[in-house]
């Protein structure tokens, strides 16, 4: 596998003598670079968040189970209702059940009747990806579950995520579907919101119950790249189900650009983090490679392959 320094040398050679390098079957696009590096995600995309230009992608239109990536759309829909952040919401049995809180689902420590503010629920749904918090957050709007899910699908469509469909707000349903290309638009919209970006920038948060101090707790961000000095994360969300494997979506600042980077179907969370960093670096190299074409930039071109 080539490392990024070798790739940089190759690109330098291309810029100096493109015809000679092409004859040696050198990479000519970001997708070529990603293939040479052996990126293992089932689907991925790197997109300029400002222009929408795709820099690198593979299987970007392939339907995939989002798992807890769903929660960013839940958060956007709740924000659209202009919520009062100090409003208190009691955890219900529905929240605990939908969140699979007694059977391994990610949940904040709670029981029926324990109250948290809407602001606390936003933090709990996004940082540790708590399913019961996401369910309670959706309920806080006063919409029925069917009404809320309809709003989620309308929100996705309004962002241009036409291959996306949700059945519930937590991400626990494997029949929720996104595509990498769709989710690049969603993660860009989510972390263009100052409130959500501020939450995503926290390593941990002191969650307080408004009616039972026994359920005060410190919650932690699942995004381990947040403390990585090699990458500037503006906002990110993890997701995992058996059906989806590990998903990671992020908005990253790189060389003055904001890049939406989505990797889906990784075998390990650390692989999702590592390949996010790799794809970010390759995106910069892809833009150098495009100079070799001496014409319109040819960067990522979506390819379709089996998910098996």
Q: Where are the domains positioned within the chain? A: 4-292
Catalytic residue among 58, 71, 155, 245: 71
Tens of pLDDT, residue by residue over 23-50, are 456 667 788 888 889 999 999 999 999 9
Rounded to 5 degrees, φ, ψ at 203 are: -75, -35
Q: Cα(213)–Cα(206) distance, rounded to whole angstroms?
A: 12
Phi-psi region for residue 228, left (φ > 0), alpha (ψ -120 to 50) or beta? beta
Beta bridge pairs of residue 47: 54, 260
The active-site residue out of 29, 103, 109, 129 is: 129
Q: Which of 29, 58, 68, 244 is catalytic?
A: 68
Give pTM, 2 decimals: 0.88
Report the topology of domain 4-292: Beta-lactamase (3.40.710)
Over the stretch 124-162, which tens digit does the pLDDT of each residue have? 999 999 999 999 999 999 999 999 999 999 999 999 999
253 assigned to active site: no
306 as an active site residue: the answer is no
Give catalytic status of residue 40 as yes or no: no
List all residues 6 or more positions away from 53 whose beta carbon is below 8 Å from its beta carbon. Answer: 47, 297, 299
């Amino acid at each position: 596998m080539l490392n990024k320094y070798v790739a940089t040398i190759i690109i330098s050679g291309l810029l100096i003598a493109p015809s000679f390098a092409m004859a040696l079957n050198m990479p000519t696009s970001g997708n070529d670079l990603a293939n040479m590096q052996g990126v293992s995600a089932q689907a991925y995309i790197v997109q300029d968040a400002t222009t929408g230009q795709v820099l690198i992608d593979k299987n970007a239109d392939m339907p995939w189970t989002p798992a807890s990536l769903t929660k960013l759309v839940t958060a956007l829909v709740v924000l659209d209702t202009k919520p009062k952040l100090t409003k208190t919401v009691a955890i219900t049995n529905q929240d605990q059940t939908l969140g699979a809180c007694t059977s391994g689902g990610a949940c904040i420590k709670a029981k029926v009747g324990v109250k948290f503010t809407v602001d606390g629920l936003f933090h709990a749904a996004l940082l540790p990806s708590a399913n019961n918090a996401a369910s309670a957050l959706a309920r806080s709007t006063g919409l029925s579950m069917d009404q809320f899910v309809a709003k989620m699908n309308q929100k996705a469509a309004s962002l241009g995520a036409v291959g996306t469909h949700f059945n519930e707000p937590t991400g626990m349903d494997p029949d929720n579907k996104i595509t990498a290309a769709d989710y690049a638009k969603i993660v860009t919209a989510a972390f263009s919101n100052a409130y959500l970006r501020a939450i995503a920038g926290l390593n941990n948060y002191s969650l307080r119950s408004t009616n039972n101090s026994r359920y005060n707790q410190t919650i932690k961000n699942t995004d381990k790249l947040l403390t990585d000095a090699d990458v500037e994360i503006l906002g990110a969300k993890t997701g995992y189900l058996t059906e989806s494997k590990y998903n990671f979506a992020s908005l990253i600042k790189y060389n003055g650009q904001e890049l939406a980077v989505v990797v889906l179907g990784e075998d390990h969370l650390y692989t999702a983090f590592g390949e996010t960093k790799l794809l970010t670096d390759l995106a910069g190299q892809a833009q150098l490679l495009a100079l070799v074409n001496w014409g319109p930039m040819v960067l990522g071109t979506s390819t379709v392959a089996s998910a098996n």
